[in-house]
A and B are shown apart, each in its own frame.
Chain A
């Protein structure tokens, strides 16, 4: 079970201990509202801070320290969960008990992470200018580099167009133009705001001793003034406009087709589990309608899958299609969705999906990053469901429930990258 302690206003320490793990994973997650004005600065912070800190002012020394700590993995970055941007800093490292010379790795690692986040090198009220220049360039390259992965790029573009580049439509790293404009003093302001106002979830998943970690971050937040604290939230997207159709031309051998579906009516969050099962029935497993029909029987796509984003209430279908078959694939996907709306599936099909989820959800406990990701998502959704409760809900879903939610949904956007001619 996840054990949660409140450290300070809007700051929570969550732990889950399990002796089977050989590594401990600590992450500090700052949750802020996703908006186009601040997303780039927040993203930049996640990369800038990990380069050096007061204890290790030279990034070479920091790199050596991580190697010495048995290759401890210092990670940082951003996630988008619903309308929230999550700025994460974390370390995964070997537990004390497995060190070769009895080192106190747990304490050293917690202190190092604390130093990285809270003791950056700030001189005359500014970050090191050289770091800022390099990290801005790196972040620009990272955002531009998403174009290399056409599958990801197509999904991001569909999101951008659906939300006109605002909120949930923002790239989690921001946009190139905004990144280039970030000024040192403004970044300091963003840093201060993140420490003072973000909702903070500190997660420890590991072998046993989390007290060192708890003490380090408790002491830290005791000395931080907190005000105007953000509470994570997400609003479901409701279809209110005509379906958008977007086509982009590029030199690709295989086209990418992304289709977004949304409900045209408000619905209760209690329906999330039903929509999740319905989406899996459509395209979430190798037994789904999209896999069996669009891929296997019709040989239209190498991949064709669906997933439900419960925070925004959107269903995304992604596929890789031969250029000449785009319209056929689109029609076939819509047809499969219609079949679900018309109840053309059996109780046996539902049972298979339920078994699939049961297995998948229980498996979460065998991976520290799996546990961290599951609970972080739940915490940002303001509704922490235990895995047992979630499985229980899923098991009670009936065919009529699925038909009902499927009929709430219709296409809101399709986005295609294909080659000309």
Chain B
């Protein structure tokens, strides 16, 4: 296995990066003093990967929406009928999985019996077993899950915002799909997706906490099956720069209107995207963080519940946007005020002193990622998905200056924004 030790002298931390002969990337982050460990076995395959092909195949295939998530559910079943949770229950590990736009991750955290739990994790993910009957049966549970999210105002206001922004990139589709789309899923298409995306060349094993490095390497060598590396081509849909629509509104049983405001920006890849993400996080904190005048104005006016507008730099391969969300009796007024503030700041710029202060805050936030095995393992997974080293963010942060911030601020176009509202039902 190719092996590299990556260090951060200031933080006095290090981790090991390995490339297994199968193509699997292994990130091992031993953490002194901790008793627990978290292991994540993940594939770079999420809900946005709907049209793809192996490089050896002649044509692209388009699969039903929600299939990555469906596959995640099905992998927990084994050919011998033993449920994977049952296996973990013997080691005491807490195991679960999730699917997002760009990844599917299987993970566990535990105190004892780490090696046994790791073997279970590596085994069940590598042994798909689907029958027509079990595939059919899962539609009931996933259908329930989809309905649960349809009642969830936070989820709906966020997804509607994405739908308002994106024409073609599949972040505009629910991760779990729809009741209709999942009805088209059968075992053949599940195997097709599995055999494409669960190739070790497209996967990572990230482990952080209290574990023995040599023992983990031995387990990887014995449990990871040989596979021929697969090169995947994902069809990149061209995405217009403009938003789809500037406003949408639905009604649900909520106490007051909820909103998401999205500003669509150009997408980036890899380390460049990480740098842009850091810069725009600083911009958002400068705009509406607790130390900003805008936050104080919102608080004093009572326009936003609790004065709180949360922000997110929502980014990945093919998408990059800023999303501001909260609750307000008048979401349109919030949008108007936020647009005004952005325009004002584009004219005046942020001063060096305030940028340095907010950099301090983001530095604290970044260090927070190294405070538990769970958050370190998640950060390691991110570093694989976007192809950077875990400490790169700290280096980027050190180098960012007020000029970078003010230049990037100018790229926010208030005319390329959208407002998603979930309002209370009438009567």
| Residues of A in contact with B (beta carbons under 8 Å apart) | 18-23, 59-60, 62-64, 66-72, 93-94, 98, 100, 130, 134, 137-138, 141-142, 144-145, 147-148, 150, 250-254, 285-287, 291-292, 295-296, 299, 301-303, 320, 322, 352, 355-356, 358-360, 362-363, 365-368
Contact = CB atoms under 8 A, between A and B. Distances in A.
B305 A141 contact: yes
B123 interface: no
A138 B307 contact: yes
A368 B375 CA distance: 14
B292 A19 contact: no
A299 B140 contact: yes
A59 B147 contact: no
A77 B151 CA distance: 27
B403 interface: no
A254 B148 contact: yes
A22 B89 contact: no
B236 interface: no
A94 B367 CA distance: 8
A72 B292 CA distance: 16
Nearest to A146: B255
A43 B93 CA distance: 37
Using C-beta atoms within 8 Å of the partner chain, give the interface range for chain B. Answer: 35 or more
Interface in B5-36: 11, 31-36
B251 to A, nearest CB: 9
B349 interface: no
Contacts of B85: 285-287, 291
Nearest to A368: B371
A134 B302 contact: yes
Contact of B364 (A93, A251, A299): A93
B212 interface: no
A73 to B, nearest CB: 9
Given A134-B299, A148-B153, 15 more contacts: A20-B32, A59-B290, A59-B299, A60-B291, A67-B285, A67-B360, A134-B307, A253-B150, A254-B144, A296-B141, A320-B148, A355-B92, A358-B112, A362-B35, A362-B36
A63 B33 CA distance: 33
Contacts of B357: 64, 67-68
24 contacts: A21-B371, A22-B367, A22-B368, A59-B290, A59-B299, A60-B293, A60-B296, A64-B291, A66-B291, A67-B290, A68-B357, A93-B364, A134-B302, A138-B306, A145-B305, A250-B253, A251-B425, A254-B144, A254-B148, A292-B83, A320-B148, A322-B144, A363-B109, A366-B34
B151 A366 contact: no
Interface in B349-388: 357-358, 360-365, 367-368, 370-373
Closest 7 CB pairs of A and B: A20-B33, A70-B364, A63-B290, A71-B361, A359-B92, A299-B140, A71-B364
Q: Is the interface of A mostly helix, strand, loop or mixed?
A: helix
A68 B144 CA distance: 46
Nearest to A68: B357
A66 B254 CA distance: 33
A386 B305 CA distance: 41
A356 B255 CA distance: 39
A142 B307 CA distance: 12
A66 B34 contact: no
Given A23-B368, A64-B291, A359 B94 contact: yes
B300 interface: yes
A18 B33 contact: yes
Contact of B255 (A93, A144, A360): A144
Contact of B306 (A130, A142, A250, A287): A142
A287 B35 contact: no
Interface string B392-408: 00000000000000000
A153 B299 CA distance: 26
Nearest to B361: A71
Given A22-B367, A60-B291, A250-B253, A363 B91 contact: no
A358 B362 contact: no
A98 B394 CA distance: 13
B5 to A, nearest CB: 21
Interface in B249-268: 252-256, 258
B350 to A, nearest CB: 13
Interface in B296-333: 296, 299-300, 302, 305-307, 327
B253 A252 contact: yes
Contacts of B111: 358-359, 362-363
B145 interface: yes
Contacts of B363: 70-71, 100
A281 B214 CA distance: 36
A286 B255 CA distance: 33
A147 B252 CA distance: 11
Nearest to A358: B92
A252 B255 contact: no
Contacts of B207: none
Contacts of B365: 71
A303 B152 CA distance: 15
A134 to B, nearest CB: 6
A250 to B, nearest CB: 5
A358 B92 CA distance: 8
Contact of B292 (A62, A63, A362): A63
A363 B148 contact: no
B361 A296 contact: no
A158 to B, nearest CB: 18
A320 B258 contact: no
Contacts of A137: 302
Most chain A CB inside 10 Å of its own CB: which residue of B11, B90, B154: B90
B45 interface: no
B128 interface: no
Nearest to B365: A71
A320 B144 contact: yes
B289 interface: yes
Contacts of A141: 255-256, 305-306, 327
A59 B296 contact: yes
B73 to A, nearest CB: 11
B290 A148 contact: no
A137 B299 CA distance: 11
Most chain A CB inside 10 Å of its own CB: which residue of B291, B327, B370: B291
A71 B291 contact: no
A61 B338 CA distance: 21
B35 A365 contact: yes
A116 to B, nearest CB: 13
Contact of A254 (B36, B147, B295, B361): B147
B86 interface: yes
B137 interface: yes
A144 to B, nearest CB: 4
B6 to A, nearest CB: 19
Contacts of A148: 153-154, 254-255, 258
B90 A352 contact: yes
Contact of B141 (A67, A98, A251, A299): A299
A286 B95 CA distance: 9
Interface string B90-128: 111111000000000000011110000000000000000
A304 to B, nearest CB: 10
A142 B305 contact: yes
Contact of A302 (B148, B306, B362): B148
Contact of A94 (B83, B144, B258, B364): B364
Contacts of A359: 92-94, 110-112
